[in-house]
Structures are given as C-alpha cells and as structure tokens.
Structure 1
Amino acid sequence: MRFGVLGSLTVRDSDGDEVPITETKVLRVLADLLVHHGRPVSADQLIEDLWEGLPPGRPLNTLQTKISQLRRALGAERVLRSPAGYRVRVEEGELDSARFRRAVEEADRTDDPGARARLLAEALGLWRGPAFADEPFVRAEAACLEELRVGAAERLGETRIEAGEGAGAVAGLRELVEEHPLRERLHGLYMLALFRAGRQGDALRVFHDLRTRLRDQLGVDPDPAISALYTSILRQEPEASVLPRVADRPRSNLPSPPTALIGRESESAHVRELLSAPHGDRLVTLTGPGGVGKTRLAIAVARSLAEGFPDGAWIVELAGVDRGATAAELTERVITTLGLCEGVTDPCSDLVEWLRGALEGRRTLVVLDNCEHVVAQVAELAGTLLAVDGVRIVVTTQESLDVPGETVFPLAPLTLPERVRDPREMIASSSAVRLFVERARAASPGFALTAENAPAVAAICRRLDGIPLAVELVAARLRALTTEQIAAGLDDRFALPTGPGRGRPTRQQTLRSMIDWSWHLLADGERGVLRLLAVHRDGCTLEGARAVCADGHDVLDVLSRLVDRSLVVREGERYRLLESVAAYCLERLAESGELEDARRRFIAFHVREAERKDPLLRGARQRRALAWFDAETVNLRHALELAVRGEDADAALRLVDALAWYWRLRNRVAEARRSFDAALRIPGGPPRARCLAEGWLAAFEGRVLREDGLVDAAASRLLWFAGSVLYRAGEREAGRGLVEKALARAGETGDRWVEAAALAERAGHRLDDGDVSASRADARRSAGTFLDLADRWGLLRANASLARAAEIGPDDLGVTDLLEEDLRAAEELGLWVDAIETLFRLGRLAAARGEHSRARHLHERARRVASERSYSSGVVEADVWLGRTDGAPAGSRAGQPPADSLHGGGTGAASVH
C-alpha cells in the first residue's frame, strides 16, 4: 500500500489502484494519523483536531464511526488501537514524505554532483502539489515539508550550475522565484543560472526587481552576497562564484527595523570601518543622550557586517536588568541569547571566564544594548571578552566603559536646518527635517514639506535639538494636529524647563520636556495606564497590562491609543514602552504614590502565571509554555528581585518553586541555585513552599535532601529529580532509593507523569545492571504514558533507554524512527543538549547496523551543534568517536555501548535535561 501526502492525500493498493475514501472526516482522520508518523494519537486529540474545539454530541461514538470507515477502506490490520490511542501502520517505503526525506538526506551526504543531482531530482519528483490538505493540525508538518522541498530545489539548482548545466536549471529556479519573491538566496541562484546560460541582462533585471521589492516591502537592502554576485555579473566576470550554502549563512537575532535609518549615513560608515578593518577596533562604545538613536545605529551596523561573522551577530538587551546585577548575571543573558549551553555546575565557577572560553576560535559580533545603569558590570564583561581575537563588541550607553581597548564614538543629534529656505534644500541639508518628513508621511499619508509649513517644521526640529526619538514622537502627532499647532505647543511648553533637569545635558532636558508635553496631552485614564505599564521591565502582554491596572480602565482601548501616539510600541502580542518614556513614567508612578501597589500587583501576577504555566511544561502544551517562560524571563527575574528586596517570602518561595522545572529544561543551573538561595534567605513564608524550595536547592546542588514534609505531587516530582541527580553524581544507592520512593508515591497518588519519569530513570538503572529485558519493559511503559500525556520531553527520556537497549540487542522496536522524532522535538523545544545526545544515539545505532557513513555523518552533525552551543562534553565525545577508523566508539566493549550523559555519563544536575 502507498500513502501519498506530497499533494492531495491519496492511498493506493499494491496494484497501484487508488483506494476510494470519499468522506471528508475520514480523510481528516487519516491525515492526522499520518502526520504523527505511525505514532498513537489519543482519541481526545483526534476529536480536537477533527472538530476544532466544537465536537458533536457523543464525540467518542462519532469518532469510532469514522475509524470504522477508515478500517473498511484500508483493512483492519492497518488501523490499530492501543491504550495510548489510534495509529496507522505504515511500512518502510510506503509514505512518500518519508521517501522524500531519506532521498534528500542521502543527497546531502553525497559528494558526487551527478549522484546528488539525481537523488534530489528523484526526491522532488515525488511531489504532486502542496503537502496535505489545508487542515490546522497538519500545517506545521506541511510547512516543514515545504521548506525541505524548496531547500532541495535550491540545492538541485546549485548542483546543476556547479556541473555546468546553468541553462537547464533556469526554468525550475524561475518557478521557485515566483513562488518565493523575497527569498534572496534563491534569486541569487537564478541570477547565476541566467548568467551561466548567457543571459546577463535577464540576470541583472532579477537583481533590480529583488532590490526594489525588498526596499518597498521590508525597508532593507539585498544581502551583501547577492550584491557581490550582481557586481560580478555586471563586470562579466567569467568565474562568478556560487553563493554560500544555506547552512553556512550566519545566525543572528538582529531585528529587521520597521523603518529605514535616516540621517546616519556617515556615522554608519565610520563605525563599520572601525569594526571591519583587519586589525580594527574590537570594542566600540556608542554614547549619547537617551533617544539619540544609539540602538538603531548599532543594529544597522551589525546587520551590514553580519556576513563577515559566521558564528553570528547578536544583540543582547540589558535595559531590563536590575542595576545591582553582577557581571555573571549579565553573562547569563549573553549565554542565553547566543544559544549556548551553560554547562557550569560548580557554583564557584567564573561564568564570565567560561563565556570567554566558549567564544575562543569563533568570529562573533555582540551588541550590548542600553548599558548605562550597569556600566561597571558591562565593563568587566567586555574587558574579559576582548581577550578573544574573533569577538567584536558594540556597546550602547550614555557614558563610556573606560576600559583598555575601547573606542568611544559619541553620537550627536541629527543636523538642524540653518535657515528656512526652499523645502528641497532643507531636506537635503538637514537630517532632522528629513526624518520628520518621513515619519510625518507615515503618520499622515500625503504630508509634504511646503513653503507654508517649512517654518513650523524647522521650529519643531530646532526645539527638539534634532533628537531622533523626540522627532519621531512629535511627528506622530500629525494624526491629530497641524505642524503649526505642534510648533506652538512646543513653544509654550518649553518656555521654562519642566521637571527636574539639574545635572542633565541640555538635550536631555529637552527630551524630558517633550515627553512631559505629550503626557499633558493625554486623558487621565491614558496617563494612568501609561505610568503603570512602566513597572514591567521587558514589556508585557495584554493580560500583564490588565494585572497592574486595577482601577477598571478599558486597558485594550487605552493601549491602542497609546500605540497610535508612539508612546507604546506593539511587538506581536507584547507592548513595550520606549526607553526614555519608561524612565519618565516610573518617576510619575512614584510621584502618584502608586509604585509600591503596582509592584505588588506585578509580583502577584507573575507568581500566579508562573504557577499556572508550570504544569503545562509537562504535557501537550509544553512548547507554548516554554515560549511564555522565555518571553517573560526578564519580568520573572524582576518580580523575584522585588519580592526578595521587599522580604516577601510567600511570593519569592512560590515563584522559585514554579520556575524550577523551567530552569531545568533550559539548563540554567546557576540561575536556579542563586534564585533559590536568595528566596530561602527571607525568613518565614508557607512551610510547604519553603520545604519544596529547600529540596529543589539540594537537588540542583547534588546534595541529599530532607524528605520530611514532602507529601504532595510536587514533592513526588522532587524526589524523582533529586534521585536522578544523585544517581548520576555517583550516589547510586541513594539515587535509586529516591526514584523508587517517587515511583511508589506516584502510584498511590495517581500521578502518571512522575510514574513515567521514574520508570524512564529506573530503565537506565536496570540497563546499568545488565537487565536488558526489565529495562525495556520500564522504558516502554514510560514511553506509552508520556505519549498519552503528549509530553515530548518525557518521550526523549523514555526513548533514550530504548536506544541504549537497542545498541545491545536487536533493534526490533523501530527505535531509529522514535529517535528521529525525538530529535525534531528537541530542536523545536530548544533543548539543545537533548538534541546532541539524540544525534549520538542515532549515530551509535547506525554504527551497530553497519551503516558507518551515516554514523559518521550523525556524529559530525552532533559535534557541529555541540560546538555552536559550547557544549564541551559533546564536542569531546564526538571527537573521540570520529577519531576511530573502525566505526566504533572509543573505549566501548563488545556488546556494551558507552554510557551517555543520561545514564551514568554525566555528573551533577547539569547532566539531567
């Protein structure tokens, strides 16, 4: 039987005849089962997917009817039921998407261009149209397959060009370019194919069309590699080079600016020159008053240089960091942003020095943004990183770091109009006027600088001293006011300084006055919401805004008006105050006497939400919960800081208990230890929360915990976690005892998650004892429960034991397929150590089956990811394996695979992921 999903969903029998399935809901059931790659799908999940939250009456009976119809079409032996749910049995080679993936993987491992082109063409030939139907539950898989298809088509085009068959690649690349009009690398390959086919003019037109489209739709220029290719084609250089492979493109979190950078051409060029010279500056500090545009310039420069930093160009936002934070805490922020594995288990370790070592041999650009409140700590961090040759650092702050090797670049405001004259001359001579006009057009389409409004525009720019933030905020007022009204308002408001301006530069007083004027234009309700939002360190969701606004305002309506007035920035589902506006609003909040109440509501909201989201980290909503914790990390840290500072033991202890499992999943051991220690230093608090916090701290530090007082479900999870840590730390008997207690208690309380976790752990213990059969039984039970709970992390744990058993005995469980699914899950969840270990397990299984080429490929991939994430033990393990010539891991004995970091290979809490 053949299942086709690379196009409309089809099923054909062994004779090639189509199996008729006409009922829509039956087809949707089959699609749902196929998208899970033969894994069981619970009845609840099928009902949710099929009826999208609006099930019919008696949904289980209706679902069983659809299953029965599917069985009649496919055969009862094809649609199976187990306690974990329903699954469709698909044999090797029967699913076209699986054949496509294998062909692409084989092509990527092939060095011969001809063989690679043949494999890619065969893989692409399996496609009949868009993957699956347009169903919500298959969109993620369809999107993944589509990206693989486009990538394979790109590589096929590139391979044909390399083989001198550019003309033959033109048609296919043209279709792809039409489908993906903003995909730059694709356009580059199309240009190259046209050029190699003797069509230089067409190649140049493709570039011009791409450049226009990027500028009009995204406000950016083409990638430097594309521009360089254009130049080569324009010069008719016969050896125009193929573009870098997709995998070699630099990684970055630099945002795409919503608007073009105006008036900073010379400054951008100068800073680029400082950073890009062969022996140029390695630390450039951009200084200037708030609102002058330091961040925008830093991002623009970093984006333009990103191609020259193959290990990434990153921006690390420090505005939300408390002014009392240590250099180590700032380092944690850098490690998290760069996606490195922390890997430091000793609480006395120097985290700054660890980061320096992790960056050795890399070529990386790091922007440390908004550092004025932590100058000393940033100076310590930057000073240490300067010892790494390949690292370049850009710092934005209002004062210099004053460290050796620093180049300070003061950023002046925009140039002002010297006199009122012809509008075109004013725009050409004054960057402040140019910025005002551009932002005014965005706020009020059709706006133009004329002889009539030029005097008012000139007055506005002068009154604002050319500070970009001030110009942008005022230009947004053109939605409601004329330029003359704005100028008159500024004249009146700036007659005398408003607010405490002592000790501030003149331009900073002006910015404050401008914000003060904007403040007085707001209604009372708008002022109330705006100042209360300032308690959030790193923006907030609508729910977060409502939580701190307790006086009945229609928060959503007010937020919308504040966004329109450019006082609040909306980024997806989050709302953020501009830097200077936030500082101003905090002062207003303190003046109103609301600061302490707002902070209490802020703390209470984050404690409540963390406790609500914590259970979701163990189940079907795991990915969404991780995303929430990631987005709220700065605010959660601030909530804990405030609770500790206010000696609120109840909030502090509850918060760290709720964050414990998130810290474990993200491998933030040092942060967990420090946070638990800080919370436990506060006297008092709920006895249960204190007992749990003491237990978590002991577990994270690898100590034996006190079991008295551990009586509920959370305590069962803690017993299991502490036992697993102790076992890996060498305290095997103590670890086994705690795991067995957790297992027994989970059985008594009906906690299936803890039972599954403890079974996965015990499976490793039994395998270490040589009892392969018992180990497999525990691992299977664990996997079945985690599958039923839809906990992808749990499946990683259970399947790891099955993989170890498969290395010893025959692989009759389809373990390779399970591990490939685990690998995708680890990558999607951002669990990079798990991803690396899974690659090692896949590699060892391949070696056991004699597939040495695939085993080497998997170990090389694991080493690459481990190196990128600074997971040193993973690099060492890969190097040891790759150093062997017989395809077997170093140090292994016949019939016994090496212990990995999950069972016996690691020490301390850091080896538990």
Structure 2
Amino acid sequence: MRYGVLGPLAVWDAEGQPVKVPEVKVRALLANLLIHGGGPVPADRLIDDLWTGNPPGGSANALHSKVSQLRRVLGREQVVREPAGYRLLLADDTVDALRFQALAERARAHKEPTAQGDLFADALALWRGPAYADVAESLFARGEIARLEGLRLTALEDQAEVRLMLGEHLPLATGLGELVAQHPLRERLRMVHMRALYRAGRQGDALRSFQELRRQLARELGVSPGPEVSTLHEAILRQEPHLAPPTAESLSPRTNLPIALTSLIGRGEAVGQVRARLSSDSHTRLVTLTGLGGVGKTRLAIAAARDMTQRFTDGVWLVELAGLGAASTPNDIAERVITTLGLCDTAATEPNLDDLVTWLCQAVADKRLLILLDNCEHLVDPVAALAGAVLSSVPAGHLLVTSQEALDIPGEVVHPVPPLALPQHTDPGAVARSSAVELFVERAAAAAPGFLLDADNAPAVSAICRRLDGIPLALELVAPRLRTLSPHELAACLDSRFPPPEVRARGLPARQQTLRSMLDWSWHLLTADERTVLRRLAVHADGCTLSAAETVSADRDLHVEGVADLLSRLVDRSLVVREAGRFRLLESVAAYCAERLAEAGEAVAVRARFVRCYAELAERESERLRGPEQRRCLERLDAETVNLRRALDLAVTEDAGEHALRLVNAMAWFWFLRGRLTEARRSLRAALATQGETDPTARAAARAWLAGIELRTSSTGATPVPADEDPTATVADPVLRARLQWFVGTGLTGHGRHGEGRHLVEASLAGARSAQDRWGEAAALVELAGDTQGRGESAAELGAALFHEVGDRWGQLRATRSLALAAERNGDHARTERLHREGLLVAEELGLWTEVVEALTWLGQTALADGHARRATELYERALSASTERAYSRGEIRAEIGLGLAARLRGDQEAATRHLNRALAKSRASGHAAGAANALAELKRVSRA
C-alpha cells in the first residue's frame, strides 16, 4: 500500500489503483496512525483523538470495530496490535510526505542548480492540496499539518532561490505574488520576490513590497523588518550591481573535466597563452597542443579548458581517444563525442544515423561549447576530418586538441608544449626557481615525506632534472626512488644507467630518447612478476578494475592471489595510477608496455584473456540489467564501454567469432537502453561478418538483435525484415527467443507494420509464459496494453506488477507510461499526473533523458487539460532545457508547442506565436513533418483568437 497525506487522505494498492477507505472515523484512525509514522499509538490516545474527549460507551470495543474496518481495507497484516498500542506497517517510500522530504533533501544536497530545481519541482508536485485535508480540524493533526506546511513553504523558498539563480526572475516576479499575499510575514519569501521584481525591471514594486512588510510587522507583531531584508531594501535603493540578473556565463558550467589530483607546475604562462588563443577576442577556434609523449599536453589542456568553463555556456567536454584503434573513422570519433556530450540516447531517435559527423554538427550547430580531443596522434586523419566539419558547421564551436603532430587543416593554430625549464645555475636559490626542479621536489616530498631542497642536495637535484631533460613524466617516475636512494646516489645511477648522447637510437629526438631511457631504467628495477603485470595491463584501453587486472594478468606462472600486491607496488613506483578504484597506465607508459608485451611473445595470449574477460563481464551484467541492480549495471557498463569496444574490435580483427558474438549478444540490451543504436548496428554487423566456427544459436540471436535494431534505425520505406519472416525462428533458447520476438515485434510496430508486430509480440507472450520468464511476460503485456479494445488496462497492470516483482526499473517506467495513458483515456487526470510523476523520477534515476523529456511533456499536457497554465509552462520549460542540452529535436519541438499552448491559455498571444514559430522552424530544419503540422495548426488557432 501507498499513502497520500499531502492533500485529501488517499490510499493506493501495489498496482496504483485507488483504495477507498469508508467512514469518517476510519479515515481519521488511518490519518492518526500515519501521523505517528509507523510508531505505536496507545488505544487510550486513539479513543481520545477520534472522539475528541467524549468517547462512547464501550469505547474500547468501538475502537476495535474501527480497527477491524481499516484492516478489511488495508489487509489484516498492515495494522498491528502491540503492547504499546496500534501501529501501521510502513516502508520508507510508502507515504508521499516522506518522499517529499527525501526529494527536498536530495535537492539541497545537490550542487548543480538545474538538477536542484528539477528535484524541488518533483517534491512540490506531490502536494495535491492542504496536508491531511480530511482531518484538518482535528486537534491530533494540527501539529503535523503545521510542520508539513512549514516544510512546504521552506521548499518553495528554496526552489524560488534556485530559480532566481537560474535567471527565472520574470516568471517569479508574477508567480510569487499570490504566495507572498498568503504569507505576508515570511521575510525570506518576501526577499526572493523583491529580488525577482527588481530584476524584472519593477524596482518600484520591489520597494513597495518592503514597505508593505514593514507595515504588517509593525501592526501585527510590533517589530521592524530583520537586518537581511533591510539590507536588501537599501541595496535596491542604491541599485547595487550584485542584484543584476545572472548572465549565461555566471550559471553553473557543464563539464566532465576531471579534478586535478596534484598541482600543475611550470605551466602558468602556457595556460594563459592557450586561453588567449581561444578567447572571445581571438578568431582562433582550433588549437592543437603538440609535443613528445610525457611532456604534459593533456594536463595543460585540461587546466586551460577548466578556466574557460564559464565562457562556453553549453559545456567544456573532454573526449578521450586513446582507446580508439588506428583504423577508426571520423564517424567513430563523432560517436565518441556524441556519447560524451550526452547526445547518445537522442541520436537513436533521429535520421541520418549512417553519417554521425553530419548529425553531430547539426545537433550542436547553435551551441557555444569547447571540445577537448585528447591523444589524437594515432588518429590524425579522421580527427582532422571531424575538426574541419565542426569548424565549418558550428560557428560557436571550439576545439582543443592534444597530439604529437599537428592536424594541418585551415584554421588550426599549433602550440608546441616544451619540457619544463631547467636550472641555469647551481646555487640553491636559482635551482629552486626552475620549474623542473619544483615539480621534482614536490613529487619527491610526496613520496618521501620530509624531503627538502637544500644547499647540500641542490647540485644533485639539478643534475637529475638535467639528465631527464625536464620531461614531467620522467621526473614523476624517478622521484619515488628517493625512498631508498639519496639525491646524489640517484643522480649517479642515472648517469651510469642512461646511454651517452652519441649512442642514442637514431631517428628519435634526444628528449624522446631520454624518456625511453627513463622507462627502460624503471623497467629494469622491477621484479620479474612486476614486469609481467605491468606489460599485461597495456592491453586495457581505459584502465581496469582489480578483478579485471587479476583475470587478464594471471596465468600458470603468475598466481591470481599475488596480482593485487604487485599492483600496489607498481602504484608506489608511479608506473600505475590508481583513480576511483581503477588502475591506469599513462599514455607513454602504456605504449612502452605494449612493446614489452610483444617482445615477451605474450600479446596473443593476453589479448585472448582480455577478450574472454570482457565477454564474461558483459554476459554477467546482461541479465542483471533486467533486475533490481539495473542502475548499478548501467553505471558499470558505462565505465567499461571503452574496454568492451576494444574487446570486440580484437575479437573481430582476430576472427574470434565465438567471443565476438558473445559480446554483441550480451551488450545488445545495454546499447538499446542507452540509445546507442548506431553502435549496436555496427557492432552486430561486424560480429556476424566474422569467420570460423561459431555457435549457430549465437549467430541466430545476433541476427535477431540486428533485425530489431535496423527496424528502429531505418526509414519506414525500407524493409530490413522481409514480410512474413521471423528472424527469431532459429533461436534455440526459449527465454531468449521470446524476448527477441518482443524486441523484433515492437520494432515492426514502430516501423508501421502493426499486424506483423502484434503477431510476434503475442507469440512472445505465449513463449515467455511457457518458459516461466516473468520479465518477458511483463514486456509483452505492456506492449499489448496499447489495445484499447478489451484488456488493455488490465494487461498494463499485470505487466507493471511483474516488472515490480523482478525489480526492473526501466520496465516499471514503461508500464507506468501505459497505465498513465489508460488513465488519461478514462478521464482520470489525477491518476494520470501521479503516474507520469512516478515515471519521471525513474527516468531521472536511470539517466534516460528522452524518457525524462517524454514524461515532462506528458505532465505538461495533463496540466493544460486541467487548466493550469503556470504549472504547464514550468514543465515544458524543463522539457525544453533537457531537450536542448541533448540535441533532442523532437523533444524541443513538443516543448515549444506546449509552451505556445500554455501562453495561449494565459492570454499571452505574443508569447504563444513566438514559441509556435520556433517549433515550426525546428520542425522544418530537422524534417519532422508531424511537428510542423501541429505547430501550423496551433498558429492558425492563435491568429483566429
């Protein structure tokens, strides 16, 4: 059971159906138990509360009768009798008041204002009216009602302050007036309204509001306004600059740049130079940082980009390309950018999936953003092609590239990154001023606490930095050696170990040879087992967990139990970096270790273990994606995306068809949930093209997955699945076959082939029931719920119950959507809104942003149907913001049309025309005929009005 107290008392069963609680005293009893939050309430207290101090004769029996009536409604086990009294069994999320408080606390804990605003909106949407409206006059409820009302007002004030921070002063100036009138003595609320009025250009109204507050306080309480509101009043009189509306640049930046774990030394001037090249005063839009491996190009680029997050209002994004193979195409790089920018789940809903470069350029054409393409030296040609397309199609798009060589395209400015400055003199003061020495000393002190630069060791430190040519990576690798060696001993070791300049390998620059020598020296200091683990780590494209490192590194000669200790020792030597539970190799170290792996003759065996490891991981997580661990599995597969791609690439190039098919079949559902249909289609085709012996059932499953994907990514005129062909017919596993019948059947329905699609989904339902697959049965039932003639709503309810039973949140979201549409058909607007709210929370929890937009637009539509123009406007604005951030053009169009309808309902014809014209222009630009038709129809209604 779930209970609603934020409004008239309401009860819903597990399927979301309302449960009627008859009789006033029984409802009062339930309210009393709810107010005590599941704690025991003595019988004497209940009798006194229900009969307000005038109990009937035989009051104990009368109370027992009311309890029995309540148990008949809720279930006998829900109302428990204990020595301390009666209590109601409640879970954490079964009372809307508790959900409201939890959402409000989540909002306050969040650091990103947009997310805060969304969470506060979701929390306040749970209120259906005054709390405990049925028992508002009862003495036992007044304290709780006052508490909840106070929490609501605080949340409204919090939300208003967040909206003010986001620049929403115009709607707040109008919308808060009524609330201020209802609560004229709340100074914090008054202050938000005053700031909104001032920012909206209504300074006189803001000052009058303060005078009204002063009069009310004097008349009712005999006091003056507090110091904060008085200070605000004076600031408005002086028109202080801090009261001005926030500019776009002052809002919280959107970025995925990592937080620096150590300080950036010796690059202050370079950071300023890179920023200047990309500043608004410069016409440069592409800067390439070049330099040898280990010189610090990535750290310099990230430091420069981080300082520009306020300027690029649509975000500063780091796109790591080290994990892509040298044969990657511009589309492969565009796909990585699309995924990083969070556009991947919307790209699947749009046309032109075969040309992702063009799609990306169209999606960000009007955005102001900076993309940092990192580690491009093995991808110079495809990166150059993508960069050229972005520069020519995205006027406010800027690129920052790190590579060992330039792209050599028009508009590029090359910024060489040299090693750090070396000491020019031997006295300690001059040595300390060298940036190479500064870096070495800082890292040495971190590795060997207490180490200081002094007159005695300054010459040795100077010699070390000179011997390593000021290359940051080399300095960081050697600094930990001071745990066991003195600076003089370390300098002597370097001199004896490194070859003299005249015998360095030909064809390599001197400084590149220095880094190579440094890596050679570090390598020879390792034990045999440490070398084994280090070189085998190189097969991972994007770091790895301890478990993966153990699986890939261990063999008959290296026991799995010892890998963790070996990794720890490699981290201590700075050859391996440990970040957020993952072990990584720096690019230069990884390239060196890959050579050592090949020299050891282990490359084939280690790659095979790597492919097998990630195939098993994908299969292990695949089934969990349909259960209560869904969110965690999505996050884990997100984190392993680059390694999973690398495993598939290796399986395909080495013709390991069995593992390639295992990988794509296990990953297909993840790709679908994340909307990465382009990746799914390409990967399935590649796996199916492999030769050699493979399991026919695995090949049949991959063909069925591909059929369902192609139905979702091809135009309605195409025929990816011939008529009367069942791509799932040869799949042997009955559970998998039923699930694939559902997947292909829903694809056929979306492709306009309703009869064929329904036939397959019905076959899926029969197959799932025969195989006792609750998930498959639920999926088919929810899909079939679209049939309004007969069992549609009951099918959705059963599907929802089954998805709840298996714990699949995505399934619950789909079922909730079907139930909401059924409630809408039945005219039950309250239930429609509640179900869409529940779906919105699930979509936000899973990060399914197209579903978030859909839920918001449905909620907006429901609000319009109820005549709530202001609420509809807020919902459609949230939908528009989410759609714009992720280049979801269909969502933008629906949101603009909704905003136009809300404006027309408010009587604002000018705003309505503006929004509808935007929707029309976006529809025509993106080829959405239905959106254009809807916008035109609404524009005609506005003009007639």
Give per-residue Cα distances to partners, 1:691-729, cap 9 Å, x unaligned. Answer: 000111111111334232124211211110111111011
Q: Map residues 469-484 of structure 1 onto 2, 5 A cutoff.
A: 469-484=473-488
Which residue does 2:330 correspond to in 1? 327
Which residue does 2:909 correspond to in 1? none
Q: Map residues 29-108 of structure 1 onto 2, 5 A cutoff.
A: 69=80, 87=94, 92=128, 93-94=131-132, 96=148, 99=152, 103=156, 107=160, 108=163
Is 2:700 the counterpart of 1:691? yes
Q: Following TM superposition, by how much is the alpha carbon of 1:515 offset from its aligned partner in structure 2, in angstroms?
A: 1.0
Change (3 A) 1:803 1:781: same
Q: Following TM superposition, by how much is the alpha carbon of 1:813 offset from its aligned partner in structure 2, in angstroms?
A: 7.0
Q: Following TM superposition, by how much is the alpha carbon of 1:477 offset from its aligned partner in structure 2, in angstroms?
A: 2.2
Q: 2:888 aligns with which of 847, 867, 871?
A: 871
Specify the code of the residue in structure 1 equivalent to 2:386. L
The answer as to whether partners of 1:3 and 1:12 remain within 8 angstroms in 2 is no
TM-score, normalising length: structure 1: 0.76
Q: Following TM superposition, by how much is the alpha carbon of 1:484 offset from its aligned partner in structure 2, in angstroms?
A: 1.5
The answer as to whether partners of 2:819 and 2:835 remain within 8 angstroms in 1 is no
The answer as to whether partners of 1:158 and 1:242 remain within 8 angstroms in 2 is no
Which residue does 1:708 correspond to in 2? 729
Classify the secondary structure of the residue corresponding to 1:368.
strand
Structure 1 unaligned regions, length at least 5: 5-10, 25-63, 127-150, 169-190, 200-232, 893-903, 907-913
Which residue does 1:443 correspond to in 2? 447
**Could you tell which deviates more after superposition, 290-299 or 439-448?**
439-448
Q: Following TM superposition, by how much is the alpha carbon of 1:373 offset from its aligned partner in structure 2, in angstroms?
A: 0.6
Q: Map residues 234-383 of structure 1 onto 2, 5 A cutoff.
A: 241=244, 248-340=251-343, 341-343=346-348, 349-383=354-388
Partners in 1 of 2:620 and 2:552 — Cα distance? Answer: 18
Structure 2 unaligned regions, length at least 5: 7-27, 42-74, 98-126, 133-144, 211-226, 712-719, 907-911, 917-928, 932-945
Change (3 A) 1:736 1:302: same
Q: 2:748 aligns with which of 711, 726, 737?
A: 726
Give per-residue Cα distances to partners, 1:567-613, cap 9 Å, x unaligned. Answer: 11111111101111111111111111111111010000100110010
Which residue does 1:432 correspond to in 2? 436
Q: Following TM superposition, by how much is the alpha carbon of 1:527 offset from its aligned partner in structure 2, in angstroms?
A: 1.0
Is 2:688 the counterpart of 1:680? yes
Classify the secondary structure of the residue corresponding to 2:308.
helix
Give per-residue Cα distances to partners, 1:543-568, cap 9 Å, x unaligned. Answer: 10001122205111111111111111
Partners in 2 of 1:385 and 1:361 — Cα distance? Answer: 11
Is 2:570 the counterpart of 1:556? no
Which residue does 1:593 correspond to in 2? 601
Specify the code of the residue in structure 2 equivalent to 1:409. H
Is 2:436 the counterpart of 1:415? no
Q: Following TM superposition, by how much is the alpha carbon of 1:239 offset from its aligned partner in structure 2, in angstroms?
A: 5.5
How well do the aligned residues superpose, as a CA RMSD in angstroms?
4.0
Give per-residue Cα distances to partners, 1:301-345, cap 9 Å, x unaligned. Answer: 101011001100010000111111111011110000011122366
Matched length? 755
Which residue does 1:208 correspond to in 2? none
**Could you tell which deviates more after superposition, 474-483 or 464-473?**
474-483
Bigger relative contact order, structure 1 or 2, given CA contacts below 8 A and separation 6+?
1
The answer as to whether partners of 1:740 and 1:758 remain within 8 angstroms in 2 is yes
Partners in 2 of 1:18 and 1:880 — Cα distance? Answer: 43
Specify the code of the residue in structure 2 equivalent to 1:396. T
Give per-residue Cα distances to partners, 1:23-70, cap 9 Å, x unaligned. Answer: 89xxxxxxxxxxxxxxxxxxxxxxxxxxxxxxxxxxxxxxx9996548
Partners in 2 of 1:742 and 1:247 — Cα distance? Answer: 53
Q: Following TM superposition, by how much is the alpha carbon of 1:730 offset from its aligned partner in structure 2, in angstroms?
A: 0.4
TM-score, normalising length: structure 2: 0.73
The answer as to whether partners of 2:172 and 2:196 remain within 8 angstroms in 1 is no
Q: Following TM superposition, by how much is the alpha carbon of 1:19 offset from its aligned partner in structure 2, in angstroms?
A: 3.5
Q: Map residues 754-833 of structure 1 onto 2, 5 A cutoff.
A: 754-764=776-786, 766-767=787-788, 771=789, 774-811=791-828, 814-833=831-850
Classify the secondary structure of the residue corresponding to 2:833.
helix
Change (3 A) 1:192 1:260: farther
Q: Following TM superposition, by how much is the alpha carbon of 1:496 offset from its aligned partner in structure 2, in angstroms?
A: 4.5
Classify the secondary structure of the residue corresponding to 2:370.
strand
Q: Following TM superposition, by how much is the alpha carbon of 1:237 offset from its aligned partner in structure 2, in angstroms?
A: 7.1
Q: Following TM superposition, by how much is the alpha carbon of 1:879 offset from its aligned partner in structure 2, in angstroms?
A: 2.4
Is 2:858 the counterpart of 1:841? yes
Q: Following TM superposition, by how much is the alpha carbon of 1:677 offset from its aligned partner in structure 2, in angstroms?
A: 0.6
Partners in 2 of 1:728 and 1:843 — Cα distance? Answer: 24
Q: Following TM superposition, by how much is the alpha carbon of 1:111 offset from its aligned partner in structure 2, in angstroms?
A: 3.1
User: Which has the larger Rg?
Assistant: 2
Q: 1:570 aligns with which of 569, 572, 578?
A: 578
Change (3 A) 1:741 1:376: same
Classify the secondary structure of the residue corresponding to 1:258.
coil
Classify the secondary structure of the residue corresponding to 2:278.
helix
Which residue does 1:520 correspond to in 2? 524
Specify the code of the residue in structure 2 equivalent to 1:476. P
Partners in 2 of 1:384 and 1:724 — Cα distance? Answer: 36
Is 2:772 the counterpart of 1:750? yes
Change (3 A) 1:499 1:376: farther
Change (3 A) 1:192 1:521: farther
Q: Following TM superposition, by how much is the alpha carbon of 1:362 offset from its aligned partner in structure 2, in angstroms?
A: 0.8
Which residue does 1:111 correspond to in 2? 171
Partners in 1 of 2:484 and 2:530 — Cα distance? Answer: 16
The answer as to whether partners of 2:857 and 2:898 remain within 8 angstroms in 1 is no
Identical pairs, percent: 46
Q: 1:406 aligns with which of 405, 409, 412?
A: 412
Give per-residue Cα distances to partners, 1:775-802, cap 9 Å, x unaligned. Answer: 2211111111112222111111111122
The answer as to whether partners of 1:699 and 1:722 remain within 8 angstroms in 2 is yes
Classify the secondary structure of the residue corresponding to 1:452.
coil
**Could you tell which deviates more after superposition, 563-572 or 394-403?**
563-572
Partners in 2 of 1:16 and 1:247 — Cα distance? Answer: 48
Change (3 A) 1:86 1:482: closer
Partners in 2 of 1:439 and 1:619 — Cα distance? Answer: 46
Q: 1:488 aligns with which of 482, 487, 492?
A: 492
Change (3 A) 1:121 1:470: farther
Classify the secondary structure of the residue corresponding to 2:373.
strand
Is 2:666 the counterpart of 1:658? yes
The answer as to whether partners of 2:40 and 2:82 remain within 8 angstroms in 1 is no
Change (3 A) 1:363 1:746: same
